[in-house]
Every structure is written in structure tokens, then in C-alpha cells.
Amino acid sequence: MARRLPSLNALKAFEAAARHESFTVAAEELFVTHAAISRHIRDLEEWLGTELFLRTGRGVTLTEAGRRFGERLTPLFDAIAEATREAAAVGDARQLRVSIEPAFASRWLVPRLGRFNELHPDIELAIDPNSKLADFRSGEADIGLRYGAGGWDDVEALKLTDTVIFPVASPDLLKDHKTLRPGDLHDFNLLHESRKQWWTDWLAAAGVSGVEDWRGTVFQNHLAIEAAEAGQGFALGDQILCTDSLIEGWLVRPFDLDMRDHGTYWVVRARGSKETPPARAFREWVMAEMADTNRKYAQIKAQRSAPVAGKAPTA
């Protein structure tokens, strides 16, 4: 008879949080974000129909049900970990060296790596966050994740996803602005990546004039998005780097206009090289995770465009 079980990721998140009685420490242990731990535990509580933690202003404490559940789960996960180590020890661990742009690594890849490690415990990832293009021929990396127009020399590139860009800001920044139009951006600080032209292009696509599109702080490596999360102004982000923050409520997307970006996310390796089994496993996993991110962003857009009950849609 099939077992009726909740999500394994949710169970892992809860077990770590219960053992440490801390969402923060659990997130560090599992290499995910605090928000991911909170979301998994919330989903598990809904699945079980009972509270596992009490949320307080200073942190979390286990309920009696949560304490009992955690005490049962920990030895089970210890047994799974031991069985996995024994199975992986049958063959040599396989290392895969991955070159990736730092912002892409920190904002998207790293929070998801726990899922890859769970699926492929025998693959040892070596992540190199570096803005410099890796030289695959010299052995700097086995595979790379890149953002750009493509057409790099001596590499085979497989497109992961096209991107759209749109303004984002902290909800705290907009709490006194119930309605906002693109033309109102002249009242806010614009946060730029290294290329200020992006704001010029988006404002033109929105039909906005009169906004000083060249003023504002310039950042590297998508730090403008972090500055937006901190309430310092509006940044332009894409759906890959911003969807998690939109879901968690750290950022909001006040305008409906998406502008097609010139860049694309790619997975690359040396031209003519054979794709190894670890590289194939990583590529297939990245493609699935990227598709999931795009689905979640599409849901965000659909929810925003859905008419409110009892109100007619507005033009």
C-alpha cells in the first residue's frame, strides 16, 4: 500500500528547525534561506492540520506536537543519512566544478542546492562564483551557468530561459503610495546596474517622459536588487533573480509592464566535449528548477491581473 507522506523537503526543514529550535540555524545547515524554511514548515503544518511552532517576536518555540514529532523524525533522518553514506561509498564520489556569476549564485542557485544534493548525494559540487568567464580547456570548470547574449568562443551553450525585466521595490517604500503609475518614479531614487541604459529603455517602453533616468546609485553584480529590498529605491530585476523575493514579500512589482531583456541564461561547457553523467544530472536539474521559477512568476502575474471579486476590471 502506498505511503501517505508529506513533502520530504518540508520534513527536512522541520527536523532541522526542531533540532535547533531556530529557523535561522536550520537554513544555514540546509543551505537554503530563512524564508524557505518558514515556507516549508508552514506547508507541513497545513498538511498535518496542527501547529508545530509558536511564532514569537524573539523567534520560535516548539509546540508539544512539534516536540514529539521532531523527536521521532531525527533518528529516522540519521538512519537515512547513514544508508546514503553507505550506498555512496560503493563508488567514488564524483566532483563537478561549476562556474557561475556571483549574483546568479547567491540569489538563485545557492538557496536551491539542497534539493540537488538530496537527489544526487554522490555528486560533489564545487561552486566557483566568479564574474570572469571560465576557461574550460584549462580545467577551471567542468560546466558553467552564464548570463548574456551568447556567442562565446569555444563553448557549447544551451539556453535555459529568456528573461524579462521590470521595476521592483520594497513594500515599506510604497506603504504610503496606494496607487502608483510609472510617471511617479520621478519621486523615487532609481537604482542602476552597471548599464544605466536599462532604465532609459524601460521608461521609454512605458511611455514615460520627464523622469531623470540617469540619476541614482550604480551597483555591480545585481546589488541594486538588494538595495531595493533595503528600501533605498526602485531597481530593475528579472524574473529569475526576483521571483523568490516577490513570493516572500521582500519586493513588490507595482507595474504590469515587462520588458524583454537582451540577456539570456545559459548552461555552457567546452565546445566538442562529452557531457559527463554528473554534468548531465546538474544540467537537467537546473533546467527543471528554472522552469519552476518561471511557473511561479507566471502565477504572480496572473494573480496581479485577476479582477477583484465584486469589482469590474479597470483599463
Same domain, 73 and 117: no
Same domain, 165 and 218: yes
Q: What is the mean pLDDT of the chain?
A: 86
Same domain, 78 and 125: no
Provide the pLDDT for residue 228.
Answer: 94
Instruction: Among 88, 119, 135, give the residue marking a domain's end.
Output: 88
pLDDT-based confidence at 58, cuts 50/70/90?
confident
Same domain, 79 and 101: no
pLDDT-based confidence at 272, cuts 50/70/90?
confident
Provide the pLDDT for residue 212.
Answer: 67
CATH code (residue 150): 3.40.190.290
Please give the Cα distance from 27 to 113 (Å, whole number): 12
131 and 101 Cβ atoms separated by less than 8 Å: yes
Same domain, 71 and 138: no
Same domain, 200 and 56: no
Please give the Cα distance from 236 to 254 (Å, whole number): 12
Kindly report the number of other CB atoms within 10 A of residue 220's CB atom: 11
Does pTM top 0.85 for this prediction? no
For residue 130, give the H/E element and its range: none
Provide the pLDDT for residue 86.
Answer: 63
**Which has more pLDDT, 108 or 211?**
108
Q: What is the pLDDT of residues 5-52, one digit of tens each?
A: 899 999 999 999 999 999 988 988 887 899 999 999 999 999 999 999
pLDDT-based confidence at 310, cuts 50/70/90?
very low
Same domain, 184 and 36: no
Provide the pLDDT for residue 287.
Answer: 93
The answer to whether residue 178 is domain-embedded is yes
Instruction: Among 88, 104, 119, give the residue marking a domain's end.
Output: 88
242 and 267 Cβ atoms separated by less than 8 Å: no
Q: What is the pLDDT of residues 163-209, one digit of tens each?
A: 999 999 999 999 887 788 988 888 888 898 777 778 888 988 888 88
Furthest-apart CA pair in the chain: how many Å? 67
Same domain, 255 and 199: yes
Q: What is the pLDDT of residues 141-151, one digit of tens each?
A: 899 999 988 88
Strand partners, 218: 192
CATH code (residue 13): 1.10.10.10
Same domain, 84 and 101: no
Same domain, 103 and 185: yes
Provide the pLDDT for residue 242.
Answer: 95
C-alpha distances in angstroms, 224 versus 202, 233, 238?
16, 9, 12
The answer to whether residue 262 is domain-embedded is yes
| Structural domain of 189 | 93-303
Same domain, 83 and 108: no
Provide the pLDDT for residue 218.
Answer: 76
Provide the pLDDT for residue 29.
Answer: 82
Same domain, 70 and 205: no
Q: What is the pLDDT of residues 95-143, one digit of tens each?
A: 899 999 888 999 999 999 999 999 998 899 999 998 888 888 777 889 9
Please give the Cα distance from 246 to 251 (Å, whole number): 5
**Which has more pLDDT, 242 or 152?**
242
The answer to whether residue 312 is domain-embedded is no
The answer to whether residue 216 is domain-embedded is yes
